[in-house]
Chains A and B, each alone.
Chain A
Amino acid sequence: DTGVSQDPRHKITKRGQNVTFRCDPISEHNRLYWYRQTLGQGPEFLTYFQNEAQLEKSRLLSDRFSAERPKGSFSTLEIQRTEQGDSAMYLCASSLELAGGPGTDTQYFGPGTRLTVL
């Protein structure tokens, strides 16, 4: 399978605990995105990497959230001191930069990590 993979698929944690999610993009893709989706809503942008550089973070991403993409390959998203409001599906997507410029490349999504904070 050469698609985007995410691990774990499900995570249940208690309020106040730290959690870390991993995303492995499609191998030749240089752009990687994190989104969050709650029930009945579309995904909301969290952050974006071009290679290893984190180019933008949404205002939704509080100081408790941090993302990394060492060596421009896989990425991790860590949430510290989780709150019940963090319960959501966390989606990772990757894309290949095209000559058409930003926004013209198709993003392919992984299966997501469903986080439940008790």
Chain B
Amino acid sequence: GQNIDQPTEMTATEGAIVQINCTYQTSGFNGLFWYQQHAGEAPTFLSYNVLDGLEEKGRFSSFLSRSKGYSYLLLKELQMKDSASYLCATSDYKLSFGAGTTVTVRA
């Protein structure tokens, strides 16, 4: 089975940095995905980590430590449009999602 934990809510100021942590316990693991989901919309792909370390993609970076069952998503230079839910998911061909972290960006 899968057990994925991430904080429920986070609030940050425009221009700041926010780090969303995700811990997981899984019986099968072929990678960790982060998705962004705006209210009422479909999840959109942000990043994928299969090896330990940091993957950087513009303002978004994602880190993975397989031995610790831990990942984080780092959002830099926050913009108002970044207000959304961020979903951590492990993959063993199907995705197993956490409940999501709602990030609110304030002016």
- Give me the interface of A with B, judged by CB distance under 8 Å: 4, 33, 35, 40-45, 48, 56, 91, 93, 100-104, 106-112
Contact = CB atoms under 8 A, between A and B. Distances in A.
Nearest to A108: B45
22 contacts: A33-B94, A33-B95, A35-B95, A40-B99, A43-B95, A44-B97, A56-B94, A93-B95, A102-B30, A102-B93, A103-B28, A103-B31, A103-B94, A104-B48, A104-B50, A104-B91, A106-B48, A107-B33, A109-B43, A110-B42, A111-B41, A112-B42
B100 A103 contact: no
Nearest to B89: A42
B33 to A, nearest CB: 7
Contacts of B41: 111
A114 B98 CA distance: 20
* Interface of chain A: mostly helix, strand, loop or mixed: loop
B83 to A, nearest CB: 16
Contact of B98 (A42, A48, A100, A102): A42
Contact of A101 (B30, B45, B98): B30
B45 A106 contact: yes
Contacts of B31: 103-104
A104 to B, nearest CB: 6
